[in-house]
Structure 1
């Protein structure tokens, strides 16, 4: 049992209602919620003094905080987590939101990047946050690999894929390479790589090197091993992390938060931690919510992230979709939108 759920189970009905109404009021307005406001909305007739006592108890438990001298309270990170896990009512995707998302995927556009860009723009518009769409890696099988020497310390590997796509990646080869060692390395890779995707090759090449170590020239073996890094994410020729709606974060930020928002923008511009972003989505089934410092990628920005993976026809996770914004996101509405979008994208890519 988490700390939040334990606290929730120990609270009486009045405390629960006061806590829930403070959080809902804060998420709606972004402003601290005072006792006088609550006296008008409580299900039972309660004095402002009684509500203030309950709010003080909740503050003592670490669930509420007083940002100003005024009597108003806002939820802490622990309070938001407890609300999201135990009290939040998740809505269904509204017909207008569903129609807006469906429309982005209703065209005959063949380019996956363009489609995902449209999805990201629609998602940021609907949620008023910034959308993050992690596009799938290119998974076409390899048809041919070739090494080309550019200088003693620079070489080019040319990857030709079965779908006709060609990628040229510059890397630093081991010293002493000769034309013959490059040919031998290319011949070896072509023998083991044809018909496989880059993902397939990661573990396969290492096993093949071990099995044929005696047959492979030392220089060629060094070249193949140094090229293993190229089978990772380096040198992608298209934008994998698509970010849309940055202006929404600026519009929602108070003056004191602008520096943190700029830090977030810097992270997104550098496209750092793409692998970590996917790991966040893979860490659980369906939609996951990270509030403030729970999010190891964007904790400096004081933001919340709602993220979900999407899958291909083989139920393999190939990408992720998320919305990032201030901690006072409308979680109950955004969670089903992110979930629906991830399912929609997964279905569309599977059909292609």
Structure 2
């Protein structure tokens, strides 16, 4: 397993002696456990060596000078800075294997009866499962769907609006509202749907678009202008208006977990802004690009990624791949900066491994 946090040249290296290292480690571990600052008196009792509170304060002062810890209030204990957390993750964090019960839980959600379940259901399961195991928000992001099509239908809602329905081979259903050309009749809706269904033959949407491009003369011969326009609108709306291969869907479960322990309304507003940002298409593209740039699990702490700079959240993310070893999505966990990274990294890594395996088998 690889946990490649960020490019080595961007990391900050600090040389700490034994006393400084132990003081720093205890401050970070306490923060990750309960989010509370640790004072010199309590800290002196936790250290493996004998140090007076006064000596501990001197060490803490040195760590503050390095930018690794800070005091949230006057005369308070100390908390790690984002730089301190990054240094801890890079220098001291030990990533172990999954506990057997956690591995079994992930497999139960992901593999139980998977062949009979639509892809969207599996992805939703993965997001929900990661949320439950980590107490963060589980995130799964997929590339624009290349679902094998089974049936297409247009259902009129209003004189100038229709519901475009796409059914996949595993009975997953996508609905989109489309604008109808002025004067479109019910018979033209039926003709457009029948023409598409006649040319499906177990194809994906990009494949169907390619076929129809090659059959321009036949399209013109069999369909009038309004029906041709309707076919084009249906293909465009199912594509989501994005380029081929661009990310197209984000599933986030467990958002309420991130609200726990927030101090004030300002924190809640910043978190709401984060999720608003995540829903934007360019943010989806950025997320999958983040996952693609490393060979394994990547960790982004707070402001290291602009999406999370205001909310003070962290992201642990990994790509998953298809049978051609192409990245088709990303899976991860969003949580507070005091996330238990050593525990979350192997969970995200194993979930990405299973999603890759399932993607290759379909």
Distance 1:54 1:221, change over 3 A: farther
CA displacement 1:200-259 (0-9 Å, x = unmatched): 678x699x69xx89x989999988887774353369xxx9433322332222x2323x54
Residue 7, structure 1, aligned to residue 13, structure 2: yes
SS at match of 2:307: coil
Structure 2: give runs of 5+ residues left out of the alignment.
Answer: 1-6, 243-247
- CA distance, structure 2, for counterparts of residue 58 and residue 4 of structure 1: 20
Greater RCO between the two (CA within 8 Å, min separation 6)?
2
* Conservation of the 8 A alpha-carbon contact between 2:302 and 2:309: yes
- Corresponding position of 2:94: 89
Q: What is the number of residues matched between the two proteins?
A: 342
Residue 285, structure 1, aligned to residue 295, structure 2: yes
- Corresponding position of 1:29: 34
- How far 1:76 moved relative to its partner? 0.8
- CA distance, structure 2, for counterparts of residue 16 and residue 64 of structure 1: 12
Pairing 1:203-352 to 2, within 5 Å after superposition: 229-230=236-237, 232-233=239-240, 240-251=249-260, 253-256=261-264, 258-265=265-272, 267-268=274-275, 272-273=279-280, 275-276=284-285, 277-352=287-362
Structure 1: give runs of 5+ residues left out of the alignment.
Answer: none
CA displacement 1:143-195 (0-9 Å, x = unmatched): 7878899889657766565666665544347889999x999999999999876
RMSD value, Cα: 4.2
- Corresponding position of 2:129: 122
- How far 1:331 moved relative to its partner? 0.8
Q: What is the TM-score normalised by the length of structure 1?
A: 0.75
- CA distance, structure 2, for counterparts of residue 115 and residue 192 of structure 1: 29
- How far 1:17 moved relative to its partner? 3.0
- Corresponding position of 1:51: 56
